[in-house]
Structures are given as C-alpha cells and as structure tokens.
C-alpha cells in the first residue's frame, strides 16, 4: 500500500462526514466561545493517541505474538462491520453526555475520531512494513488534517450538504470501505495459505 492509499483508507475509517452530526450535537450544548477550543483539543488528543498506536503497534503485536495474516484478517472483519454500520446506520444516539457537559477525550477523541478500527488499521500498517514509518506518519497526519478541517467547519458542511447529503456521502464512503475491508481479508487469507502451504 502506498502513502496516498493509506491516507485515503484512514480518512474513510475516521469518517469525519459521518461524525459531523454527532460532533454538532455535542458542541451545540457548549458555550459558543468554548466550542472551537474544545474541538481543537479533542482533535489533538485523537492525533496523539493514533500516533502512539502507530509507533507502538509492532511492540503490541510482538507482545501478543500475533502474525501479520491474523491482523489483516481481523482488521478486514472490523472494517467490514464499521462499513456496514455506515451504509445501514442504526437508530439512536451514540453518546451519553448530559446537556452542557464538556467532553474530555471521550467520546469525541475516542471512539469517534480514533476508534478501534482506526487503531487496528494503524497497527496493521506498522506491522506490515515498519521501515516505512515516515510514510505512514504522513498518511496519518494527512488523513487527520483533512478530517480536522471538515470537523472544524462542521457548520458550513452541514448547511451545504444538508442532512440527506451527509447521509449519502457517508453511505458512499461505507461502500468504498467495504471493498477495502474485503481486500484486506483476502490478502490475509492468501498470505496465510502461501505461508502454511495449504
């Protein structure tokens, strides 16, 4: 996977357009003067957490004695489930903050921005080719940067796209993510078969 493909994959998993309505509902109950400061703080928290998983991913896999194939297959399954939820969203809220309560790390940084699927993808990238950490860092920062811009201007995107537009974009991203997840799963199975000689 090249740097651009990795950045696109991470961006799709972060799903900033899908998170727009959730972020807007959380920020709506915070004082207008504090909204941008809170949002920037949570975005920076998410970046730090994702960086930690990117650079500690290899150590985590070695500690758990996991093979690349198992991580690729598991990552593909996780991404597939996330993509299905994007295409067929479940009713009901995803956060439990009281009105006026200021979020701190949870739920905006984790799991909305740096969710399990993003962290799993970062571990997979680091384990697949740990000599290209600079490329993966660029991919992560690029995906995070574009996502951050979208979320910082959430009011503009919400007005331009509208609720139906946001739903359509999220489902389109979900379809792309389904294809990426299936490819990850197939690559893991193919590598396992070739290594075990089945």
Q: pTM of the entire structure?
A: 0.75
Average pLDDT, the chain: 83
For residue range 159-180, list pLDDT tens digits in order: 887 878 877 877 887 888 888 8
Whole-angstrom CA distances from 81 to 109, 126, 143, 144, 195 are 20, 22, 21, 22, 27
For residue range 7-53, list pLDDT tens digits in order: 999 998 898 887 887 787 778 778 888 889 999 999 999 999 999 98
pLDDT at 93: 41
Average pLDDT (73-87) is 80
């Amino acid at each position: 996977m090249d740097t651009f493909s990795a950045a696109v994959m991470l961006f799709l998993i972060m799903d900033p357009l899908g998170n727009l309505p959730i972020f807007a509902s959380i920020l709506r109950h915070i004082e207008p003067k504090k909204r941008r400061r809170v949002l920037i703080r949570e975005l920076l928290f998410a970046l730090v957490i994702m960086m930690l998983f990117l650079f500690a991913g290899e150590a985590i896999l070695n500690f758990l004695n996991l093979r690349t194939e198992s991580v690729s297959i598991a990552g593909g399954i996780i991404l597939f489930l996330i993509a299905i939820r994007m295409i067929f969203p479940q009713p009901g809220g995803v956060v439990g903050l009281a009105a006026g309560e200021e979020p701190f790390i949870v739920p905006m940084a984790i799991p909305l921005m740096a969710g399990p699927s993003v962290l799993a993808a970062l571990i997979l990238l680091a384990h697949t080719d740990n000599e290209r950490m600079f490329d993966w860092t660029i991919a992560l920062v690029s995906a995070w940067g574009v996502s951050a811009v979208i979320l910082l201007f959430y009011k503009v995107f919400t007005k331009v796209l509208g609720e139906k537009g946001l739903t359509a974009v999220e489902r389109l991203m979900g379809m792309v993510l389904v294809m990426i997840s299936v490819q990850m799963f197939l690559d893991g199975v193919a590598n396992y078969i070739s290594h075990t000689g089945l």
